[in-house]
Amino acid sequence: MGEELETDYLVVGAGAAGMAFTDALLEHCDATITIVDRRHAPGGHWIDAYPYVRLHQPSAFYGVSSVPLGQDALDVVGTNAGYYETASADEIRAYYANVMLRRFLPSGRVRYFPSSDYLGDGRVGSRLGGQVWKARVRRKVVDTTYLEGAVPATSAPPFQVADGVRCVPAGQIARISEHPEGFVIIGAGKTALDACVWVLEQGVPASAIRWIKPREAWWMNRRFQQPHSLLPQAYNGLAIQLEVMALATSIGDLFTQLENQGLFLRVDPAVPATMFRGAVISQAELRLLRQIEDVVRLGHVRRIERDEIVLDEGTVPTSEGTVHVHCAARGLARRPIRPIYEPERVTVQPFQWGFACYQFATLGVLEATVESDEEKNRLCPPIAYWDANTDYLSAFLAAFTNQPARLGPPALASWAMATRLNPLGALALHRDDPLVIDARGRIKRCAPAATNNLAKLLGTSAA
Ligand SMILES: Cc1cc2nc3c(=O)[nH]c(=O)nc-3n(C[C@H](O)[C@H](O)[C@H](O)COP(=O)(O)OP(=O)(O)OC[C@H]3O[C@@H](n4cnc5c(N)ncnc54)[C@H](O)[C@@H]3O)c2cc1C
């Protein structure tokens, strides 16, 4: 056993959650913090992300609260043209390395153990050196790994692959040096979508791409997820949603109306969409994706043979010259929810609809500024990560129901108004914009009916 560590908090995971939580503790209390991650650098899954991935939300409200990400530039080229920049994986990795090196470690209050496993019971094991440290944790272990996601780079495909079949994780297609006969993209989520868009952008004809989609997904229109000069439009999107939610007659009707209003998008409007992971895309991406006509909807892939792909509900031919792209990792975990705050532990989980980092940081601010675990749990009752249509509505409802209570603790309320991570935090700067004035009135009028109707639809209807 190596030296004994003493720390107020032991944060397990240096991903977006561990970094945002730590940053909040640094800003709002004088605790010492030890961060452990089995990866060699801070950033979590971004360390292993496919090279062409970008944030699907603007950089403006991603990362830790105290350090901006990006230059808040409006993109003028590519599928994000007209919208605020979305960081690439390289930028995100550099960002988190910088946060660790220039903010956390110089504070003198943070110790960081990369390439180290948390072994439970306060023990930290170095992967390479073999040392094991025992931490005496004075306050809490902060577990950011409870709902850890799986990404294709680090998880095997959930189907069998026969010898001689070319099947690669999403990131590997960027390293192909010869011209394959065709591509089979396997998966219905954001990774598959990114792989399709990237391959098309490289000049591969749509006719050379087959897309295997077990489900059709809803996507959110990036137009309504914007900061700065485009924030009034985003706020107007919220008003539109509440108007629809107030009057929808069923969950199906609600999603169709949101699609008609341009808030939600699906690649194939003829196919019912049952998946909702909350990812954001642009209409330029949508136009590219709609070029792919060879879409296979025969359930999940079970195995790939040299000459055919076997799915739940049938087979399709393939060939040895075809590259099969694994984009079928399960994504974020859906485990039983448990209290976020306990006497010796914080278990990071979502508590409302919205982008991740604002929620992670909110949990840190609450931990630092509110004493009672009971009160913190009252303000942030956890919910599951979203996967199906109804999950979005429950998460949206959770945001509306619990947000007023979170305006109670003064430290949290003033931080929430000021932090760049809050997508609506800067609304006050646009208070005289006619679109904001109009949207505010509509939100006020519709919010009670919308929340009542959502609760009713969720209690009585299926998607
Ligand atoms: C491709 C992709 C794009 C995304 N884009 C966005 C986006 O634009 N906006 C958004 O809000 N969300 C996005 N997400 C969602 C994503 O979940 C969050 O952004 C965020 O990065 C998740 O951070 P995390 O810290 O919860 O998890 P992770 O990044 O998975 O970090 C958890 C860390 O814990 C470590 N760990 C686990 N167990 C142990 C152990 N026993 N000992 C030591 N270390 C351990 C792991 O090594 C890992 O580094 C995206 C997700 C993916 C996969």
Give yes or no: residues 181 and 65 share one domain: no
If asked whether residues 183 and 124 sit together in one domain, one would say no
Return the half-sphere exposure (C-beta side, CA atoms, 13 A cut-off) of residue 20.
28
55 plus 139 within the same structural domain? yes
How far away, in angstroms, is 356 Cα from ligand 1 center? 10
Q: Specify whether 194 is located in the same domain as 211.
A: yes
Residue 456: half-sphere exposure toward Cβ, Cα within 13 Å? 13
The phi and psi torsions of 385 (rounded to 5 degrees) equal -65, 150
Residue 419 resides in a domain = no
Last residue in a domain, options 310, 331, 352: 331
**Predicted pLDDT at 31:** 98
Predicted confidence (pLDDT) at residue 377 exceeds the cutoff of 70: yes
Query: What value, to the nearest 5°, has the Cα angle with vertex 415 and ends 411 and 418?
Result: 150
Domain extent for 107: 4-149+334-385+408-414
Residue 114 domain flag? yes
Asked if residue 447 is part of any domain, the answer here is no
CATH of the domain at 28: 3.40.50.720
Q: Is residue 172 one of the residues assigned to a domain?
A: yes
Closest residue to atom 35 of ligand 1, CA basis = 13
Same domain, 137 and 175: no
Query: In total, how many domains does the chain have?
Result: 2
| Ligand 1 lining (C-beta closer than 6 Å) | 12-18, 36-39, 44-45, 49, 53, 55-57, 62, 117-118, 144-145, 148-149, 151, 191, 332, 355-356
* Predicted confidence (pLDDT) at residue 88 exceeds the cutoff of 70: yes
Based on the domain organization, do 192 and 285 belong to the same domain? yes
**41 and 188 fall within a common domain:** no
CATH number of the domain that residue 168 is part of: 3.50.50.60
Q: Which two tokens mark 231?
A: 């924030």
Model confidence pLDDT, tens digit, residues 174-191: 999 999 999 999 999 999
Nearest atom in ligand 1 to 148's CA: 30
Q: Whose CA is nearest to atom 29 of ligand 1?
A: 44
Residues 290 and 357 placed together within one structural domain of the fold: no
Q: Is residue 301 part of a domain?
A: yes
User: Cβ(266)–Cβ(216) under 8 Å?
Assistant: yes
- Pairwise CA distance, residues 339 & 452, whole Å: 26
Centre of ligand 1 from the C-alpha of residue 417, in Å: 25
Shared domain for 159 and 122, answered yes or no, is: no
- 56-94 in b/e burial notation, b at 16+ Cβ within 10 A? bbbbbbbbbbbbebbeeeeeeeebbeebbbbbbbebbbe
In this predicted model, what pLDDT tens digit does every residue of 296-310 receive, in sequence order?
999 999 999 999 999
| Residue whose CB lies within 8 A of the most ligand 1 atoms, among 69, 93, 100, 148, for a mutation test | 148
409 band by pLDDT with thresholds 50, 70 and 90: very high
Q: Cα of 308 to ligand 1 centre, how many Å? A: 34
360: number of Cβ within 10 Å: 25
Query: Do both 88 and 25 map to the same domain?
Result: yes
**350 token code pair:** 């979502």
- Is residue 111 domain-resident? yes
Judge if 305 and 167 occupy the same domain. Answer: yes
Query: Residue 453 domain-assigned?
Result: no
Non-local (6+) Cβ contacts of 159 within 8 A are: 186, 300, 301, 302, 303, 304, 328
Helix (H), strand (E) at residue 247: helix 231-247
Beta bridge partners of 375: none
Residue 463, number of CB atoms within 10 A of its CB: 19
> Is 233 among the domain residues?
no
CA distances from 317 to 178, 187, 210, 306, 307 (A): 22, 17, 11, 9, 6
- Which pLDDT belongs to residue 460? 54
Each residue of 311-332: pLDDT tens digit? 999 999 999 999 999 999 877 7
Q: Domain check: are 185 and 327 in the same one?
A: yes
